[in-house]
Structure 1
Amino acid sequence: METIINYFSTIPSLHRGLILAGGIAFFWLLESVKPLFDFDYKKWNHAGINIFFTITTIIVNFVMAFILLMTADWTVQNKFGILQWLPEINIWVYTIIGLLLLDLIGAYLAHLVQHKTKWMWRFHLIHHTDTWIDTTSANRHHPGESVIRFVFTTLGVLVVGSPMWLVFLYQSMSVVFSQFNHANISLPKKLDTFISYIIVSPDMHKVHHHYILPYTDSNYGNIFSIWDRIFGTFTVLPNHKIIYGVDTHMDPEQNNKLKNLLKIPFQNPKKLN
C-alpha cells in the first residue's frame, strides 16, 4: 500500500493522461471483439465528438486543479473531514472508506443532483443525447457540466478530508470505471450481475441511458453500486429493451452535431421538455 500512496502522491500528469488514453484504447478494442450492440454508425465520427468533450473536461480540470490541491492540503493540515476524524485504522480500510465517500459525493450525489435540478440538467443533458453508447461516451460532458462535477469533487474532498494521493487514486479509478461501464461490451450475464453487487457493471449503467423515464433517473453510480442499492435508485432492464438517447433529443441534428450540443444548455427551455 505504501507503494500506491507514494505513486499517487506524485503521479505525473503524463501518467494520468496515459491512464485515460489507455483505458479508451483498451475498451475500444474490446468493443470490436465482443460488442453488446452492433451499431450502424461511423465510429470515428462519433468518437470525434466525444473526444472533443473529453479534451474540454481535461482543460477544465487542469485550470481548476489548484483549488482541489489547496482543499486537500487544507483538510490534512487542519485535521478537517471524516477521514481526519477517524481513529488510527488499517490503511486499506482507510483507503476503501475514502474511495466510497468520494464516490458518493463526487459521483453519485453530483449525478443525482444534476438530474433533479433543472438548470444543471440542461448541461448534463448533452451526456444523455448520445444514441450510441460506447467507451468514448464516458467523458461526453459539456464544459459547464465539467465545472459542476469539479465543484462536487471539491466538496467531496472537503467533507471526506481526503489527502491528495487519495484524490488522484479516486480520479484515476473513476476514469477507468466510467470507460468500463459505458463500453459497448457484452459480459456473461451471470458475471455482469455478480459484479453489479460491488461495482457498476456495463449492463447496470446501460439502463441509465435508456431514453425515457423512470430508467433515465436510476443507476447513478460510477464506481460502486452500493449507493444506488442503499438509496433505492437501482433498476434493471433487459438489454434488448434498451434504446439509447433522451426522448427530447432523438433527432440526429440535435444529438450528433457538435455545434448544437454546445448550445443546448442555452436554448429555449421548451425544447428541453
Structure 2
Amino acid sequence: MQTFMQFWENIASWQRMAILLGGMVFFWLIEGYYPLFAFSWKRYKHAGVNLIFLTTTVILNIVLGSITILACKWVTENHFGLLNVLKLPLWVNIILGLLFMDFFAQYAPHYLMHKIKWMWKFHMIHHSDTKVDVTTGTRHHPGEWIFRECFAIIGVYALGLSIGMYFLYRSVSAIFTHFNHANIHVPQWLDKPISWIFVSPNMHKVHHHYKRPYTDTNYANIFSLWDRLFGTFAYTDPRLLHYGLDVLDEKTDESLMYQLKIPFNKNIKTDY
C-alpha cells in the first residue's frame, strides 16, 4: 500500500494526463459498440466543442492548481486535518479521502451551483449539452472550475490531504466522470446494484434531464451515498430522459461563443 501511494506522490504530469485522456478514449470506444442512444449526431464535431472546454480546464489547472498543491504540502508538513489527527491505517485513509473529497470537491459545490443563481449560470454550460456522451464530462465553463477547485482546497484543509491522495482522488474522479457521462448501454440489472454504492451511468443521466426536478438530483460523482444521505438521489429509465435545458435553445449547444457568454447573458431566464 505504501508503494501504491508513493506512485501517486511522485506521479508525473504526463501520467496524469494519460489517465485523463486514456479513460476518455476507452469509454469513447465502448460508446461506439454499446450506445445507450444511437448516435444521430456528428461525434467529432460534438467532441471538438467539449474538448475546447477541457483545454481551458487544463490550462487553469496548470496555472492555479499550484495553490492546491501548496495546501497539500502545508497540511502534510503541519499534520493538519482530520486524517492526520486520527492516524488510521493507510487503506482506511484512502477510502475516507476519496469519500469525503467526493463531498467537498463535488457534491457540495455541485449542489450550490444548482441553488445559487449566479453560480448556476456558469454551470448551465454543462447542462446545455443535448448529446450527452463521454466528452460531456469535460464541458465546464472556466469559471465553474474555479468554484470547484476552491471547494477542493477546503477539503484538503479539512481532511489533511497529502499530494498523493489529491492526485489519486483527481484520477479516480476523472474516470468516474467519463464512466458516468458515457453514452453506454448498461442494463438495469447491473446498473442498479452499482448505484447502491457508486454513481452509475444511468443514475447520473437522470441529472442531465432537461427540466426539474430531475435536474436537481444526483450531485455526487463517485459515491451515491451523499445523494442518498441528503435526499437528492433519483433513478429512472434513462430511455425516458431528454437532455439539455428547457430555458435554452437546443440549437446553441455547439456554439462555443454563445456557451461562454451564457453566465453574462441577461436574456437567458432561469428559475434559480
Q: TM-score, normalised by structure 2?
A: 0.97
Residue of structure 2 in register with 1:59 after alignment: 59
| AA at the equivalent of 1:77 | E
| TM-score (structure 1 length as normaliser) | 0.97
Quick one: which amino acid aligns to residue 191 of structure 1? L
**Secondary structure of 2:21's partner?**
helix
Q: Which residue of 2 aligns with 1:264?
A: 262
> What is the CA distance between 1:269 and its match in structure 2?
5.2
Partner of 1:190: 189
Q: Distance in 2 between matches of 1:118 and 1:93?
A: 38
Q: What does 1:175-214 align with in structure 2 at a 5 Å threshold?
A: 175-214=174-213
- Listed one character per residue, the Cα deviations across residues 176-195 of structure 1 (whole Å, up to 9, x for unaligned) are 11000000001121110011
Amino acid at match of 1:202: P
CA distance 1:167–1:265, shift in 2 (3 Å): same
- In the aligned structure 2, how far is the partner of 1:29 from the partner of 1:13? 24
Residue 199 of structure 1 deviates from its aligned partner by 0.9
Q: Are residue 71 (structure 1) and residue 102 (structure 2) matched?
A: no
Report whether the alignment pairs 1:25 with 2:25: yes
Q: CA deviation at 1:239?
A: 1.5
Q: What letter matches 2:176 in structure 1? A: F
| 1:130 paired residue number | 129
Q: Corresponding residue for 1:94?
A: 93
Q: Deviations over 1:187-244 (max 9, x none)?
A: 1211100111111100000000000000000000101111001110001121221000
Deviations 1:123-152 (A, max 9, x none): 000000000000000010001111111111
- Counterpart of 1:250? 249
Once residues 159 and 59 of structure 1 are traced to their aligned partners in structure 2, the CA distance between those partners, rounded to angstroms, is 26
Listed as ranges, the gaps of 5+ residues in structure 2 are none
- Report the 3-state secondary structure (helix = DSSP H, G, I; strand = E; otherwise coil) of the residue aligned with 1:210: coil
- 2 CA distance for matches of 1:205 and 1:90? 32
Q: Give identity over the alignment, percent.
A: 47
Question: Which moved further from structure 2: 128-137 or 69-78?
Answer: 69-78
Query: Are the equivalent residues in 1 in contact too, given 2:244–2:250 (CA < 8 A)?
Result: no
Residue type of the partner of 1:201? S
Return the alpha-carbon distance in structure 2 between the equivalents of residues 270 and 27 of structure 1. 33
Q: Which residue of 2 aligns with 1:83?
A: 83
* Matching residue's letter, 1:108: Y
Count of residues paired in the alignment: 271
Matched with 1:238 is: 237
1: CA distance between counterparts of 2:239 and 2:101? 33
2:109 paired with 1:110: yes
